[in-house]
A and B are shown apart, each in its own frame.
Chain A
Amino acid sequence: MDTTRRGFLGAIGQVTIGAAASVAGAGQSASAEGTDVPHWGMVVDLRKCIGCQACTVACIMENAVPEDAFRTHVSVYELVKEGQDPAMVMLPRLCNHCDDPPCLPVCPVEATFKAENGEVLVDASKCVGCAYCVQACPYDARFINHETQVADKCTFCFHRTQAGLLPACVETCVGGARNFGDLNDPESEVSKMLRDNEVSVLRPEMHTNPNVYYIGLDDVLDGRVAGEAAYHPEMADAVQHHGEGL
């Protein structure tokens, strides 16, 4: 399946070392520059994230994300670097709409596909719910929607961008951390942000070529985070069981 590629790689000269690996090889189609076909991408400026979870909830509301699942959420960390004061990091996570999405080739029935504007999407009417893609995504960005029984994930708010609107999480981002736009357009805000800042991506070693970039991402957080996990209470009496067990 053809993956549409961003074509302005000159602009990402400042990608940090780790991320360089992931964007290497994505440079072929410079021809896309100047085309009318946008290539959506997100630039998350971690310096602006206040961990308010507006994005998380807006996404839930906009996309009717069922209980126990998130299309996006914001992890909150306390980091203690040797010899420094502890510091807070809020890390918004969502599907990276990878240009080389590992979730795609594994789909047995071609339900997962890469759309013209770069979105990685699932055709729900085709998905057999095998969850292979859920396993294959290196970012825990997918889940089985227990209401529809098919694979679900962030769509970059396909329905909204089609209508000329911003994704819900971007529209409501209180800190202004989430920025969305056309990576093919060198004049777009996101392209400018990529040019003007050092950016990195999550799990560059997976060579997925994400379309979600981060400003100010600490290496220790860019993959699986080795550290103490968040406390989750047991709500014995209120455990939610899904239709299909577990």
Chain B
Amino acid sequence: METQVHELVGAVHDAAWQPWAVQYFFLVAISVTSLLMALPAFVFGKSADLRAARLALMVAVTTGITAPIALLADLHQPFRFWEFFVYTHKSSWMAWGAWIVPSYVALMLLFAWAIHRPEFDRMGQDDWRFAWLFRLFSLGGASNGFARPLGMLAGLAALGILVYTGSEVMVVRARPLWNTPFLPLQFAATGVVGALGVMLILERMLCRDGALEATLNRRLALALALVAALGGAWFAVAISGVSPVHSEALASVAGFPVWQQIALWGAASVAIPFVLALTLPRNTGLITGLIAIHAAWMFRWTVFMGGQAVPKVGSGLYDALMPTGVAGLMGVIGTFGLWVFLMIVYTTFVPWSGDAADATPSARTSDQAPRKSASPQEI
């Protein structure tokens, strides 16, 4: 018997996880996937990949620092962050995350430092204005044999992040859109997409090396294919009805025009860069990169804000999907602000490109930057 229901009085619930949370999940995924992409070159000596790896490391470091700060901002009691380490509730993925995140950030930074230590040391030896700084950076030595084990540990921590972030969201049975085993995989795959997107943009701005661009684009295509496959599988499982959880997830949003638009939009943001990256791997990096970043970000926005817009007991949708308010917007922009700042610092002070190893420092005057004017880090 069919029953039609019309809610006449109902409450609206605000989204409790706000744009900062989206930013966190976005950035941390980019960071860990970048780091993982940097490891083959740095740890396993796949030297052909070194240029991409350096970009990846830069991305990993900058986003890896930004992400936990966004996370802190999404806490309503940020000052109480220390409690995470005092009362670890073992049944909570978030509690585990509280240990994994700092471990990851620390290991990742140590690893990056170790990679750059010889360079720091060398720059500390030169006679220029900031030499003292680099002497400090290098801790008075150049050896970095521990980079490899650090890298492996950081890699493990990165996997830990992927597991915990995915699980933390996946276990929430109350939100059918989240409560799917696909989600951690999708987080990881879209993380790769986002990371490659950022790398592509940076490549275009800092390296302008067509070959590297093409490599990254090809990898992006692969990652997008994976995302598409996962999305397709999710949809297929949901439609088929073999998994009630998935069917419920689909049912919870199907039928709402806004979600149909999101689905189309999402598909387009996967398909367009995929086609571009495959067919025109060169000179499209800026576009594919931007769309890729957008896709990775939108996936999370949709999952988090969209997921929270689905009432658990009431009817219709809350309008959490498109939260208004200047503060929320500022949160998103502010996070990017921090990242841009870190990028400037990184490119300014870290001999990230490895070119330094070959380039001979020229005469430096006191008011000159450490690198020659043409150095790529001077963006």
B327 and A244 contact, CB distance less than 8 A: yes
B10 and A75 contact, CB distance less than 8 A: yes
> B328 → chain A, closest Cβ, in Å?
4
Interface residues of B, count at CB 8 A: 63
Contact of A135 among B12, B16, B84 (CB under 8 A): B16
Give the residue among A73, A109, A218 with the most B Cβ atoms within 10 A: A109
> B312 → chain A, closest Cβ, in Å?
5
- The answer to whether the Cβ of B95 comes within 8 Å of any Cβ in the partner chain is yes
Who on chain A is nearest to B77 by CB? A129
- Chain A positions within 8 Å of B74 at CB level: 130-131
B325 and A246 contact, CB distance less than 8 A: yes
> B313 → chain A, closest Cβ, in Å?
6
Contact of B172 among A135, A203, A232 (CB under 8 A): A135
Who on chain B is nearest to A78 by CB? B6
> A91 → chain B, closest Cβ, in Å?
9
Task: Give the distance in Å from the alpha carbon of A110 to the alpha carbon of B327 in the complex.
Answer: 30
- The answer to whether the Cβ of B9 comes within 8 Å of any Cβ in the partner chain is yes
Interface residues of A, count at CB 8 A: 64
- The answer to whether the Cβ of A137 comes within 8 Å of any Cβ in the partner chain is yes
- Chain A positions within 8 Å of B6 at CB level: 77-80, 227-228
Contact of B14 among A68, A150, A218 (CB under 8 A): A68
B5 and A228 contact, CB distance less than 8 A: yes
Contact of B313 among A81, A134, A203 (CB under 8 A): A203
Contact mask for chain B residues 188-219; partner A; CB cutoff 8 A; 1 contact, 0 none? 00000000000000000000000000000000
> B275 → chain A, closest Cβ, in Å?
36
Please name 13 pairs of A and B residues whose Cβ atoms are closer than 8 Å in the assembled complex, sorted by A: A70-B11, A74-B9, A76-B9, A82-B3, A107-B89, A108-B88, A127-B77, A127-B80, A131-B16, A137-B312, A224-B252, A229-B317, A245-B326
Interface on A for B, CB 8 Å cutoff? 51, 53, 68-70, 73-83, 93, 102, 105-110, 126-132, 134-140, 142-144, 149-150, 202-203, 206, 218, 220-221, 223-230, 232, 239, 241-242, 244-246
Interface on B for A, CB 8 Å cutoff? 1-19, 74-77, 80-81, 83-84, 86-89, 91-95, 97-98, 168, 171-175, 178, 252, 308, 310-317, 323-328, 330-331
